[in-house]
Amino acid sequence: MKRIMFVCKKNSSRSQMAEGFARTLGGDKVSVTSSGLEASQVNPHAIEAMNATGIDIRGQTSNALSEFQPEEFDAVISLCGCGVNLPKPWVLRDIFEDWQLDDPAEQPEIFPRVREEVRSRVIELLAKL
């Protein structure tokens, strides 16, 4: 089983959607967690955007990256370009990618587009694993 960490600035939108897609699409082949450089709360617009796909992320929580150890993960994916700010052990995992997706938190109208970008990237990632 591959262990994936999705990281974003506040772990409220992009990383939460990625976690939801990876859990659903990866099934028992992956263990998935998301976190942020700082914790906040799951954005209601992210919950709504994912509900439109039939995936319920209401039970997910926002966590700080500092709560985890890098060696617990095989793949670390930054969704916001924050990879340059991650401590070195995080970027040295077997798989590290920095997807640099737009932040929909301040622009709710782009949630559907960003959600679909996240879904596409997660599908590609799962195929690699």
What number is the average pLDDT over the span 92-99?
93
Report how many domains make up the chain: 1
80 is catalytic: yes
Q: How high is the pLDDT of residue 87? A: 86
Select which of 46, 80, 82, 114 is catalytic.
80
- Provide the H-helix boundaries in the chain: 14-26, 44-51, 88-91, 111-128
Q: How high is the pLDDT of residue 81? A: 78
Select which of 7, 8, 17, 42 is catalytic.
8
**Chain centroid offset of residue 88 CA:** 19
The residue range of the domain holding 104 is 2-128
82 is catalytic: no
Dist. CA 105–CA 91, nearest whole Å: 25
pTM of structure: 0.95
